Structure 1
Amino acid sequence: MNTYTTAILGKRALVTGASSGIGAAIARELATLGVDLVLTARRRDALEAVAATCTGVKVETITADLGQPDAAHALWDAATANGPLDILINNAGFGYFRRFDEVDWSRDAELVQLNMTSLVALARCFVDAHRTSITPAQMVNIASTGAYQSVPNMALYAASKAFVRNFSEALHDEHRGTPLSVTCICPGGTETAFHAASGGGDYSWIANASTKSAEFVAHAAIRAMVRGQRTVVPGLFNKLTCFGVRLLSWPLASRVATQVLGKPRLALPRRGAI
């Protein structure tokens, strides 16, 4: 047993957006490391299917829609009913690939609620729970490489992830030297259902070449969490992209993003459950 495993063995983690993609991959990775799980998402059947693959640990599932007001606090109460949480993985989120003025406000309001407001609410619950704790606790917030620049046709999504990144980095610095660590993960394109659900997919070779599996991102996230890192961009190509953006003017970076991501699909799919 290595130090990577012993650092979180026997802990209890809440993973949001755990029914598919990065959230499901993180749940399975934590299970292999001996972490008990509380998994939450909107789709009960998909959530239960993921839970069944997380063997060797205790697994609870809670169906919740964090895109709704006050859902975060109800989730926290349910998740802590059977014991405290040592790890919080704020993964739930969604986006759309479309001009801002072509999407109903109700969908934007749900995006803001899920990607930012519920994430902050859960973060506050977690920080308050560990305010006087002397045992290590870890929070991981999933942002995006889109957090490093403006992204036309994903204006609100990228802005929400910039918020997550800045918020997470500030929390990390506030709690430096304490038992509580906060890590921000900024994945690039990942092999999940996100692209089809967002209306994207007509990407350039650059975007396709930088795409990583959900398992790759999950492993990078847990490794960064255990090490107490501040911000991690998984994948060399993605690291170079985020660094390269700093060398461009903001308008040029925005135009480059438009070329890399291509055009939106003709029809915007209904929001998939997270």
Structure 2
Amino acid sequence: MTKTVLITGGASGLGLELAPLFAKDNYDLVLVDINAKKLNEAKVYLERDYKVNVRTMAKDLSQVNISQEIVTELGETEIDVLVNNAGFGLFGTFATTDWEREAQMLNLHVLTTTHLTKLLLKGMVQRGFGRILNLSSLAAFQPGPLMSLYYATKGYMLSFSEAIANELKGTGVTVTALCPGPTKTSFQEVVSSGTTENKITFNMATAKDVAAYGYKAMNKGKSVAIPGGFNKFLATLPRFMPRNVATSIVRNIQEKNR
């Protein structure tokens, strides 16, 4: 039987790079994104090149209770794989950044990710099969001055993913937190909405490579996947130095790449 994957933020970036990997393995796709035009373009491309069924939902995933709306519209469609990919960043000091934008980030990264997982997980467990891929970040491993809420929400996503991955052992359902370093996507274009732009380019990976790594790790059932040897090294550093030192280093990197 054909399986179905739901990808949030599926119209561009990592989401769009992950979509053909699933399509090649004969998954039907449900792509959810705020950009209706790009969703339609993705649908045309994927159905033409991979002969799979693609359903699109134009949704603002930063809205409270949007997950229930999505699941209601899915109806009887069973979701075998969930990819919580949608996200954005905001650069600036917490005292000066825009709360409305920050609330959207918190809703998207924390509430929507958690609620959508909650709503779809039960069916996966009942069927004895499921994969969940949560897009966390290398930022999850330490505090991040000048992007404080982004780092904090990605830390939440990592911790949440690891915890439920442990709970789900033996059920046939796995949870993978993908934690890439800087990746060349539209994230870099929107990270600075309303603030000074963050232009980190060091150690920049391509979305295609990160997607391929994450897809392979998900299929292997890894709970945490960090692409790149240097990123793996960076993820371990906070364990071996005082947290205030690690925090100062992150701030220094952020300031140098403004």
Matched residue SS, 1:159: helix
- What is the aligned counterpart of 1:130 among 124, 128, 140? 124
2:190 maps to 197
Please point out which of 64, 88, 91 is paired with 1:94: 88
Q: Distance in 1 between matches of 2:69 and 2:191?
A: 27
Bigger mean CA deviation after superposition, 22-31 or 163-172: 22-31
1:221 correspondence with 2:251:
no
Compute the displacement of 1:236 (Å): 1.3
Mapped to 1, the partners of 2:243 and 2:77 lie a distance apart of 47
Q: 2:100 aligns with which of 86, 101, 106?
A: 106
Give the number of aligned pairs. Answer: 251
- Mean Cα deviation higher: 51-60 or 233-242: 51-60
Secondary structure of the equivalent of 1:196?
Answer: helix
Give the SS at the match of 1:101.
Answer: coil
Q: How many angstroms does 1:263 deviate by?
A: 5.2
Structure 1 contact 151–257 (Cα < 8 Å) conserved = yes
Where 1:262 maps in the other structure, the secondary structure is helix
Alignment of 1:1-274 (within 5 A): 10-54=2-46, 55-78=50-73, 80-81=74-75, 83-134=77-128, 136-199=129-192, 200-203=197-200, 208=202, 210-262=203-255
RMSD: 1.5
TM-score, L = length of structure 2: 0.93
Q: Distance in 2 between matches of 1:188 and 1:21?
A: 14
Counterpart residue identity of residue 20, structure 2:
R
Distance, in Å, in 2 between the alignment partners of 1:10 and 1:261 is 45
**Whole-Å separation in 1 of the counterparts to 2:34 and 2:72:** 17
AA paired with 1:212?
A: A
What are the ranges of 5 or more consecutive residues in structure 2 without an aligned counterpart?
none
Q: Which amino acid aligns with 1:236?
A: G
User: Who is 1:3 aligned against?
Assistant: none
Check 1:131–1:202 CA distance in 2 against 1; reply closer, same or farther (3 A cut). closer
Give 1:264 deviation, angstroms.
Answer: 7.2
Q: Counterpart of 2:26 in 1: which secondary structure? A: coil
Cross-structure match for 1:268: none
Residue 127 of structure 2 aligns to which amino acid in structure 1?
S
Q: Classify the secondary structure of the residue corresponding to 1:61.
A: strand
- Taking structure 1 as the reference length, the TM-score comes to 0.87
CA change 1:256–1:137 in 2 (3 A) is same
What is the deviation of 1:82?
5.2
The Cα offsets for residues 166-194 of structure 1, whole Å up to 9 and x where unpaired, read as 00000100001111111111111000111
8 Å contact from structure 2 (residues 91, 198) kept in 1: no
Identity in percent = 30
Match for 1:114: what amino acid?
L
Q: Which runs of 5+ in 1 are unaligned?
A: 1-8, 266-274
- Listed one character per residue, the Cα deviations across residues 219-249 of structure 1 (whole Å, up to 9, x for unaligned) are 1111111111110111111111111222221
8 Å Cα contact 2:145/2:251 also seen in 1: yes
Q: Residue 98 of structure 1: SS of its match in structure 2?
A: coil
